[in-house]
Structure 1
Amino acid sequence: MSNQRFEKQRQFLQNRLSPEGYAGLHLTIGVLVFLLAGWWFGAIAENLSPDNPLVLFDQRVAVWFHQHAATTLTHVAKAITFFGSVLGLTILSVAVALIFIVSRA
């Protein structure tokens, strides 16, 4: 009786963890990696208190950069970070796609 009681659950797990199933194993591993990465990030974030040496060092570096800021370097930094923005990545993606389309023609 107990064998038949959990037959649906056993079959589900068997299909989920089977390499032959459509993305079952990949999805399961992906979810596990996602959960482990989230747990790891949470553990690191939990250890960052205001009196932590890493936080104090980061604050000192930020203050130093703010005190030594130069207009030219600020413009350069903004130009570089633009390429990581949504608009910058969209423009780069469209440009690369156009290059591929033109090169195939």
Structure 2
Amino acid sequence: MTHGLLGKLRRFIEARLSPEGELGLHMTVGVALMLVAIVVFHELAEAVMGAEQITVIDLQVANWFNQNAVPWITSCLLVITHIHGVIGAITLACLFAWYLHRRRAHYWLLTLVITMPGVMILNVLLKYVFGRARPSFETPLLQALSTYSFPSGHTATATALYGILGAYLVCQTQPGQWSRRVAIVAGAFLMAVLVGFSRIYLGAHYLSDVLAAMAESCGWLAICIAGVSTLRRRRAVRQDQ
């Protein structure tokens, strides 16, 4: 009986690590990334709600940027932050969706359609769950917002959007072109970081708001990509039968 159980366990693990299986390596990686993101988000949320050391760092960072703002940097980051607002994010997502449709990348289009509205709704729900007030200054760089601060909506949507774009471009890259793949991943990551930085610099969010938003978005994105990949593989298997 022991050998039988070990055999079943071995086959189960092999199936989860198989690159070809319907619920193989892609789903395993997706679930693993989601779980890591949940742990990171939980730790950040717990630290923020418990008023731990990170909240002190949040205030120090926010006040430093507010007191040491450089006019031309402020102007540039205002453009970045407005481009990635709700209307801007929807516009960028629609343009990307149109591009994917023209390229007949239907599964990537489905991923985009699931991911973007999903991360926006999730972010709004989390804001109301935690109800954290935004940073407050005597001379704010950005008009005060009435919505809650934790986590950052701009950062969450930007991370999801550039994450999908980066993943799509990486998958379109020829095997062996590792330098191009690294450049794509780095570019997508830096764009999400830039949007998050603009929110901290302009005093719209704390550092922890941005970090939590990136964790939230990465977890949601990982499971969306894994889920659509599973659907694609399952349909491919059925067509071959």
Q: TM-score range by the shorter chain?
A: 0.5 to 0.7
TM-score (norm 2): 0.28
Q: Which has the higher contact order (CA 8 A, sep 6+)?
A: 2
Among candidates 53, 58, 76, match of residue 56 of structure 2:
53
User: Residue 40 of structure 2 corresponds to which residue in structure 1?
Assistant: 40
CA distance in 2: counterparts of 1:98 and 1:21, whole angstroms? 27
User: Residue 19 of structure 1 corresponds to which residue in structure 2?
Assistant: 19
Residues 8-64 of structure 1 deviation map (CA, whole Å, 9 limit, x = unaligned): 444222222233434501211111111012101211222222882134346658xx6
Where structure 2 has 5 or more consecutive residues not aligned to the other structure, the ranges are 67-74, 104-241
Return the letter of the residue paired with 1:83: G
CA distance in 1: counterparts of 2:21 and 2:15, whole angstroms? 6
**TM superposition shift of 1:97:** 6.1
Return the letter of the residue paired with 1:4: G
Runs of 4+ in 1 over 3 A off after TM superposition: 5-10, 57-61, 76-79, 93-100
Answer with 1 or 2: which has the greater Rg: 1
Residues 75-102 of structure 1 deviation map (CA, whole Å, 9 limit, x = unaligned): x688532312x3x2354336646887xx
Pairing of 1:1-105 with structure 2 (within 5 A): 1-5=1-5, 7-22=7-22, 24-48=24-48, 49=51, 52-57=55-60, 60=63, 79-80=82-83, 81=85, 82-84=87-89, 86=90, 88-93=91-96, 96=99
Where structure 1 has 5 or more consecutive residues not aligned to the other structure, the ranges are 65-72, 101-105
Return the letter of the residue paired with 2:56: P
RMSD: 3.9
